[in-house]
């Protein structure tokens, strides 16, 4: 398995509670070797809400290219999904971030 590190901007019980209830998490960074990727994790319910809002207000919805869908936005589920996506080569299709300093982030794996 590829050496993968996963970071959040925050990792507390309150943050976990909040992201599970919001059904999305946008502060996920994945580091594979020296490449860092930022992803957002949504549930299908949250995606539907975002879609409806976008269509109602703009006439369309365009999801982020780094959006992943998860059954829930718990830390455990996001880590599991990122590990599986890494094994499938998903991140080789994304553009990595240049010169991101991960020292200010919280490493969760």
Strand partners, 69: 42
- Identify the weakest region by mean pLDDT among 43-57, 69-83, 94-108: 94-108
pTM of the model: 0.86
Pair 40, 28: CB distance under 8 Å: yes
5-28: pLDDT as tens digits: 999 999 999 999 999 999 999 999
Q: Give 1's pLDDT tier (boundaries 50, 70, 90).
A: low
């Amino acid at each position: 398995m590829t050496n993968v590190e996963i970071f959040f901007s925050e990792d507390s019980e309150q943050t976990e509670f909040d992201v599970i209830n919001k059904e999305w998490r946008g502060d996920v960074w994945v580091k594979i070797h020296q490449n860092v990727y930022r992803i957002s994790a949504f549930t299908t319910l949250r995606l539907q809400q975002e879609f409806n809002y976008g269509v109602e207000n703009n006439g369309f919805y365009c999801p982020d290219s780094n959006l992943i869908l998860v059954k829930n936005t718990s830390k455990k589920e996001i880590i599991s999904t990122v590990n599986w996506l890494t094994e499938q080569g998903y991140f080789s299709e994304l553009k990595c971030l240049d010169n991101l300093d991960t020292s200010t982030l919280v490493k969760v794996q």
